[in-house]
Amino acid sequence: MIYVKRLTLPSEIAEIEFIKHEQRTCFHTFYPFKIFPDKGLRHVDFEPVTMFYGGNGSGKSTLLNVLARKMGAVRYSEFNDAPLFNTFVGMCAVDYAKMPRASYVLTSDDVFDYALKARAINEGIDDQRNELFDKYVAVHRQMAYDPEIGQMHGLDDYERWREVREIISPRKSQSSYIKKRVVNDIDLCSNGETAMRYFLDRIDEDAVYFLDEPENSLSIERQIELADYIAATARATRSQFIIATHSPVFLAMKGAKIYNIDDYPASVCKWTELPNVRRYFDFFMEHQDEFV
């Protein structure tokens, strides 16, 4: 599905005029101005799956975030933009084939935050479990010298009495008492498995998805699995994917349109023509005799 047809960036003349006017201000950076004219990039046309390829600092993530901000995409983690970021976004234009119901930004930072929050929740659950364990043990110890601990001494004593009765009930084991009051831990595995689960849980509806370097934290097997899932989702649902990456696995996705942001002018090319991919190829060819 194609929701976003084209992104139009400000012309070089428009950027120059803006910067000339703003040079009298105290801005220490004009980011993201002055990035894309140097790439010879004015228009970006989209397919159901579109990739932005480039090295570190090439502007591929900036391009993705400009479009995501222009569309008001839902973002789960903070984005550290610059004072003029929204101004630049306002000078851009987006053409739609159809307005999407929703759009989302999914990044490796989201995966990291998700894992941290899950671990914090689990730590809180552990603390609650330990408190209940201590309470269970304390009540049973007190029974040894205070047989009337299970008696109620007035209406004001009802809550304490009810809790004690549950603890000393012959049908209530320590584990069943604690399980009834504590939610299950969030199941966390390796970073790669957590990252994979994060993406699979969130790519589940018809929308535009912006993925910024999804290969981070993923093994080669997980990258292949996620790339296959994205390709299948793009074919089978009304979803569109815009991905900033330099992973050969994602770049090899069948039918993906790839913009080489490192090139001048930035151009659409095949994944096998990309320098990063060629370097991988050359590396394995140099060592082909070692594969037996």
Question: Under a CB-based contact definition with an 8 Å cutoff, are residues 246 and 278 in contact?
Answer: no
The Cα–Cα gap between 141 and 149 comes to 11
Q: Give the pLDDT score at 284.
A: 92
User: The dihedral of CA 239, 89, 259, 51: what is its sign?
Assistant: negative
Strand partners, 221: none
Which DSSP symbol is given to 184? Answer: P
Question: Under a CB-based contact definition with an 8 Å cutoff, are residues 149 and 142 in contact?
Answer: yes
Q: Report CA-CA distances (Å) from 38 to 50, 90, 260.
A: 21, 20, 13
- In the chain, where are the structural domains located? 4-111+189-290, 118-181
The Cα–Cα gap between 252 and 238 comes to 21
The Cα–Cα gap between 55 and 275 comes to 10
Q: pTM value?
A: 0.73
Q: The domain at 4-111+189-290 falls in which architecture?
A: 3-Layer(aba) Sandwich (3.40)
User: Checking phi first, is residue 194 left (phi over 0); if not, alpha (psi -120 to 50) or beta?
Assistant: alpha
Q: Give the pLDDT score at 186.
A: 47
Q: Say how many C-beta atoms besides its own lie within 10 A of residue 45's C-beta.
A: 14
The Cα–Cα gap between 171 and 220 comes to 51
Three-state DSSP string of 194-245: HHHHHHHHHCCCCCEEEEECCCCCCCHHHHHHHHHHHHHHHHHCCCEEEEEC
Tens-digit pLDDT string for the chain (292 aa): 899 999 999 988 888 888 877 665 655 678 888 888 888 889 999 999 999 998 888 889 899 999 999 999 888 777 767 788 888 999 999 999 888 888 999 887 777 666 666 555 555 555 555 665 666 666 656 665 566 565 655 656 566 656 665 655 655 555 555 555 555 544 545 556 777 778 888 887 789 999 998 888 788 988 999 899 999 999 888 899 999 999 999 999 999 999 999 888 888 999 999 988 999 999 999 999 998 7
| Tokens of residue 76, six digits | 């789960």
How do residues 23-40 score in pLDDT, each as one tens digit?
Answer: 656 556 788 888 888 888
